[in-house]
Chains A and B, each alone.
Chain A
Amino acid sequence: MMKLDKDKLIIGAAGPVLALLTSFVLTVLVLLATGLDPIEPIRLMIENAGYSDIQVLIVNQTGIYYLAALAVAIGFRMNLFNIGVDGQYRLAAMVAALVGASVELPGPLHILLIVLVAMLTGAFWAGIAGILKTARGVSEVVSTIMLNAIATSLVAWLILPKNFGVQPAGSNNLTTGEISESGWFPGIDMGEGNGVIYGFTFVAFALGVVYWFVLNRTRFGFDLRATGASESAAQASGVDAKKMILTSMLISGALAGLSGMPTLLGESHTYSLDFPTGVGFTAITIALLGRNHPVGIFFAALLFAFLDKASSTLDTFGYPKEITVIMQGIIVIAVVVSYELVRRYGIRRQQQKVGEELAAGGALKTDKEVAA
């Protein structure tokens, strides 16, 4: 039994490692092809990551990616592809900022309200795709992509000064107004010039534990994984697959809504035109790379945050920082390919093993053929 688990672990890790190596090698080749020193930018990035202000940026970004990737991962476990995390994240952050700026409450309640509004908004937006899927059979891939575009327009409309937006005097930006200080999530100040670690980052990592527990130690988690593995089989054993689809879309959306909270509660305290975007798309890669496992996702999120933040000054040394975008892009492709390769290898290996054991035990050959 122990032996089998070790095999599983090695095969589990082989995918990501293969993908990372491929992307690293290809990136070096791209640098060589453009006539640049392939090692220097990587050395610079590692040097950058040694500075504590960059580390703070990396940690904060990891928390944001972690939440968004959990949102994607819970969908993946259900065999649902929620591409709409980005739209859910933006709409939720905007509506939560709006509500947060328009009320005055004592500290913890104020934060709780903002967080709840964000979760409900994200869940609502993802729930539309969930209902479309369960009631009309609309593919969630299509509906969530379209909902992203609708979220963009909706946010753009809501934030107009004639509706709910505020244009600060002398600014060309539009905001939802500043959330008063009772709605700021306390962070850890890392000292002058080093920045602040958002308090919500720790909420993000705690949710990773909750994710693991719910998925692996509860009836609900079992139903979810069962439905993801085979909808018809789960249905036959008494699981209401439609209810599971809707529920997991709602949870996915709620988590997507939370992924805007580190930035909103810890840094900007308002939703403005330059609120970070694209988090939901990066999160898809991170969830894939992390194999939907809470620890795997953590390291994948950390890696992507490192690539993002440590590369920020590369261009001042004459190296295009886009090399990290290339690296991330190659990781996406390499992950898919290498997982398939590793999966096939794993199956072949398993079959071989079973065959050897059967042969050694002198079992009937026909049995083996039937099993294969």
Chain B
Amino acid sequence: MGIASAALALSVTACGKSSTDSGSSSTASDSKATKAAIAYDIGGRGDQSFNDAAYAGLKKAEDELGVKGAEAEPSSGEGDADKVARLTALARAGNNPVIGVGFAYAPAIEKVAKAYPKTTFGLIDDTSVTAPNIANLVFNEEQGSYLAGVAAAKASKTGTVGFIGGVEVPLIKKFEAGFAQGVKDTNPKAKVLVQYLTQPPNFDGFSKPDLGKAAAQGQLDKGADVIYAAAGLAGSGSIEAAATAGKWAIGVDSDQYNQAGLASYKDHILTSVTKDVSDSVFNVIKSVKDGKPQSGEVRYGLATDGVGLADSNPAYVKMTDVTAAVAKAKQDIIDGKITVKTAP
């Protein structure tokens, strides 16, 4: 152990240079082209969901604004210290804004934002940490889900609809709460079956389609004929099961009717609850480039089309009673006549 502690002492003292020292300290202000960076949530790029939507926003900023984009992926099982190191590296390299995708970045952004007051930090899905240089990008997922509930209740013939949540976390509970309320407000006698695929820290429920498929099969067996899955990639399994049984599926995050991977099931995708993460990323980058960086809470709700219900499926558009009910509910929410719960 003597050797061990000596090696330890050596490794600590051997080099006083920090990786923070390597760039000039104020690169953020004197770089010519805007450089923007996003740090992904667990799963990284290619998750067909949350992270990919953030990337789409960055890509759009690269194409339309000439911004130079950088990305950083998390390692599995990492802690806050690793996130601090990653965000610091991105800010140090002169990226502005630096966007943390997902609530897990909150504690890290709180620390790094203090060290880099001239850099704007975007934080998606969290308003618990605030600073003048933090833009909290949040969504009213429950509002979009409420509309899905209205559509599901109207389209259902059996009076039983299903909700499948990927992982049982507060964020997904918002989807459940809005959906269930929308169903009950439309048809008080309707039954909502609720199932979560996994519990944290097991995040398989966002990534494994077989789990979504099995859960949807179970709900179909119990008589559900519309199934709404808020489960990332696992939701494609639910869509497959519902479509194979000739029932309705409701997609999430992006308009899944138009997703290439789901083309063979798209006739059975009634609609999708959209959450415009890519726009929120694009907007914060644009705001920095325009010299008016966003700050504080930036909320994306129904009123601003930050969340909504897709209408790409012609079969859905033809159901005029459904679309009329959805349009009315949307107006009622925007006018404040309906308040949607954020927790079941």
User: Which chain A residues have a beta carbon within 8 Å of chain B's beta carbons?
Assistant: 48, 50-60, 62, 90, 152-153, 155-157, 161, 167-174, 190-191, 193-195, 197, 205, 208-209, 212, 263, 267-268, 273-279, 282, 294-295, 298-299, 302, 308-309, 311-313, 315-316, 321
Could you list 17 A-B pairs, sorted by A, with CB under 8 Å?
Answer: A52-B19, A57-B85, A59-B8, A59-B11, A170-B136, A172-B126, A173-B106, A173-B170, A190-B12, A273-B200, A276-B78, A294-B1, A298-B4, A309-B82, A315-B72, A316-B70, A316-B72
Set of chain A residues within 8 Å of B214, measured between Cβ atoms: none
- A172 and B15: CB pair below 8 A? no
Cβ 8 A contact of A50, one of B7, B17, B80, B169? B17
Is B104 interfacial (CB 8 A cutoff)? Answer: yes
- B128 and A212: CB pair below 8 A? no
Shortest C-beta distance, A168 to chain B (Å), equals 5
Give complex CA distance A48, B15 in Å: 11
8 further contact pairs, Cβ within 8 A, besides A59-B11, A152-B201, A169-B128: A53-B85, A55-B12, A152-B199, A170-B127, A194-B20, A273-B200, A273-B201, A277-B77
Is B191 interfacial (CB 8 A cutoff)? Answer: no
- A173 and B80: CB pair below 8 A? no
Interface of A (DSSP majority class): helix
Set of chain A residues within 8 Å of B200, measured between Cβ atoms: 156, 273
Known interface pairs A59-B8, A275-B201. Does A315 touch B18 (Cβ–Cβ under 8 Å)?
no
Give complex CA distance A263, B169 in Å: 22
- B77 and A276: CB pair below 8 A? yes
Is B86 interfacial (CB 8 A cutoff)? Answer: yes
Size of the chain B interface, CB-CB below 8 angstroms = 54
Give complex CA distance A299, B3 in Å: 10
- B169 and A174: CB pair below 8 A? yes
- A58 and B170: CB pair below 8 A? no
Give complex CA distance A171, B107 in Å: 11
Would you list which residues of chain B between 142 and 176 have a CB under 8 Å from chain A? 168-171
Cβ 8 A contact of A172, one of B3, B76, B170, B199? B170
Would you list which residues of chain B between 1 and 58 have a CB under 8 Å from chain A? 1, 3-5, 7-8, 11-12, 14-20, 22
Q: Specify the chain A residue showing the minimal Cβ separation from B5.
A: A205
Set of chain B residues within 8 Å of A171, measured between Cβ atoms: 103, 106, 126-128
Is B253 interfacial (CB 8 A cutoff)? Answer: no
- B77 and A51: CB pair below 8 A? no
Q: Specify the chain A residue showing the minimal Cβ separation from B79.
A: A276
Set of chain A residues within 8 Å of B88, measured between Cβ atoms: 53, 193
